[in-house]
Chain A
């Protein structure tokens, strides 16, 4: 069982890697082995070799990933557990043709769970760093909200999750729960 962490930053081995990828590895590696790939290096045929996939976040000004949505079409066909964090979540909904809307939040944010799920529950504080959120859709159900926006979603038919907040900062148990999903 190996978890793939996809580096979503604007380029491979960037200055943002220690901030947006390393903390995910630190949260998950005590439980499972991990591999890291930058999205430009990831071939769809490789996905089957991993048990779970986590798409990292990016700096607030980094939207380069949105220019390469063709690199993420495997998300639509994969049945593996996938978790998109912030930019990763935005990528998931864009691949499904859904829209984003402007909503900027920076700092600790109160998150309210709206639907029971295996990753988190109740009301909790989490670190936000985003300029856009997702909009309601027929493909995804909403798992959590903040006062300002949708904060977590799940595909209605498969274990494809997105969280807008950054669980690697103050909510690492969400990541350990994700890599425990069967």
Chain B
């Protein structure tokens, strides 16, 4: 089966891609670049890095810009998936959905209209386990956005490691934060993963902080040998 992976460049979609590639053929990655930083559907920080990630993966990228308005972005997603189907002959779409019925059901309906299979290989995965799997598989993941108290700018740009997982689990107990950012508390960017032929090196970045949230903006990055 040839699959397109709905890809944000964050940890969930990259891990879903990894799992899909273990069972089927990943034919392309599909990215929606949302102009709306508060998009309901699409992860936004550093989405521009996805072109570099696609190159690192050696996979074609289907990328479409969307205004990110609540339901209109779904029409844009459908257009992108339809393009992936006609251009790369995909039979199905993979997402990194873990808990969000909102996201999963909307992608399901689009795939159903386009007569495509749909898979969510991380569905209902325990969040702490999900973070541990990333480390076991040697993913290099950085925090590229924090959107909930008490996460502050000191988290931005930091690499996911075992002490960070412990800290996130503690914050879950104390503040109800989802350790893997399922509630939108954290966004991530993957710099290296098992399927990457080269890794991404950030050469210029800036922290943008506003009110109680902030992002780690990758301004320049390049591919380097692994």
Contacts and interface: CB of A to CB of B under 8 A. Distances in A.
Interface of A: 13-16, 18-19, 22-23, 26, 59-62, 104, 106-108, 127, 129, 168-170
Contacts of B122: 18
Contact of A106 (B1, B92, B105, B120): B105
Given A15-B24, A15-B119, A16-B119, A169 B124 contact: yes
B121 A107 contact: no
A18 B105 CA distance: 17
A61 B108 contact: no
B167 interface: no
B97 to A, nearest CB: 9
B110 to A, nearest CB: 10
Task: Tell me whether chain B's interface is mostly helix, strand or loop, or mixed.
Answer: mixed
Given A15-B119, A129-B105, 20 more contacts: A13-B23, A14-B23, A15-B20, A18-B125, A19-B119, A19-B120, A19-B121, A19-B123, A26-B126, A59-B119, A60-B111, A60-B117, A61-B92, A61-B115, A106-B108, A106-B109, A107-B101, A107-B109, A108-B101, A127-B101
Contact of A18 (B92, B112, B115, B121): B121
B19 interface: yes
Nearest to B22: A15
